Amino acid sequence: MPTFIDGKTIAARSQASTADEIARLRARGITPGLAVVLLGDHPASRAYVRSKDKTCRELGMYSRKLELPASTTQEELLHLIAGLNADPAIHGILVQSPPPRHIDEAAVVRAIDPRKDVDGFHPLNVAALAMEDPSALVPCTPLGCLELLRAYDIPTRGARAVVVGRSLIVGKPMAMLLLAKGADATVTVAHSRTADLAAVCREADILVAALGRPKFLGAEHVRDGAVVIDVGINRVEDPADPRGYRLVGDVDFDAVAPKCRAITPVPGGVGPMTIAMLMGNTVRACRALTGGE
């Protein structure tokens, strides 16, 4: 039987440490503040925003939830961000993705003060990550994946890692984190158009799936004894479920798990870590902006 990597437990441990840091800052009169901006009424995005807001308040942070209509213009959104950049009570800014189609998301990311870019998507943070600058704010999901590997004592040094997915949100930063000094993995970045993808994936000691396609990777993609980190969270119809759907990953869990040394379930694997890392990034940003120790 494989080890099931319990993201909920590791996230709770991380949040307990973050709560201690927040308490120390508050004792000095400093309260970390996170602003989350949501445009429109996308159900999954609304659920994520509620969860982030709830977690902030539970940890003792200041949370500002800004829900805007889908008709909000680019100019209005950029004006709002400028105000948040200038607000000393706000140390982290997150604009929930995806925005409505008329919004230029890249321009929105560039408008956020990189010191408050707790998503880690601003070009200056991306460059800092590539340069292994410790001041970088790192994208939350890949950072959470790395924390899971560390928590379960899964060695990365010298390991062959294959990251399936090349997005700026997960795939590319995940590859950089695994390649960086200290992690020291040998990294291949693959994607849905990689020739003989199954053969490439089978080379992996550590396989990270981040395509956004339900159950795309099957048993033929995984060698015996591999560690599988499944970043995907996909809704698929399921009439037997009271909700009418269920959540599955990018990996066919039932087919793959018997071959693995360790694997993340969906839900309950990577997902909880993303919010935990967001809280940690906000505290880091707060310290950098206020000089807090």
pLDDT at res. 246: 87
What phi-psi label fits residue 264: left (phi over 0), alpha (psi between -120 and 50 degrees) or beta?
beta
Beta-carbon neighbour count of residue 59 at 10 Å?
Answer: 22
* 215 is a catalytic site residue: no
User: Judging by DSSP bridges, how do beta strands 245-248 and 234-237 pair with one another?
Assistant: antiparallel
> Using CA atoms, how far apart are residues 251 and 207, in angstroms rounded to an integer?
10
Low-confidence ranges of the chain (pLDDT < 70): 292-293
In this predicted structure, what is the pLDDT of residue 293? 58
| C-alpha dihedral, 274 to 279 to 283 to 286, nearest 10° | 100
Catalytic residue among 119, 205, 230, 250: 119
The predicted model scores a pTM of: 0.95
Closest C-alpha to 202, from 212, 215, 184, 188: 188
Paired strand residues for 220: none
| Residue 15 annotated in active site | no
Q: Is 64 exposed, middle or buried (0-12, 13-18, 19+ CB in 10 A)?
A: middle
pLDDT digits (tens, 9 = 90+) for 179-233: 999 999 999 999 989 999 999 999 999 999 999 999 999 999 999 999 999 999 9
Catalytic residue, chosen from 96, 116, 205, 215, is 96
Residues 163, 186 contacting (CB under 8 angstroms): no
Burial category of 167 from C-beta neighbours within 10 Å (exposed 0-12, middle 13-18, buried 19 and up): middle
Is the Cβ–Cβ distance between 11 and 269 less than 8 Å?
no
188 φ/ψ angles, rounded to the nearest 5 degrees: -115, 130
CA dihedral 192, 126, 46, 211 (to 10 degrees): 10
How far apart, in whole angstroms, are the C-alpha atoms of residue 226 and residue 86? 47
Q: Of these residues, 15, 52, 117, 252, which one is catalytic?
A: 52
Contact in structure between 171 and 220 (CB atoms under 8 Å): no
At residue 203, the pLDDT reads: 98
Task: Report the distance separating Cα 68 and Cα 101, nearest Å.
Answer: 15
Using alpha carbons only, give the angle 264, 267, 271 rounded to the nearest 5 degrees: 80
Q: What pLDDT is stored for residue 292 in this prediction? A: 63
Does 113 qualify as catalytic in the annotation? no
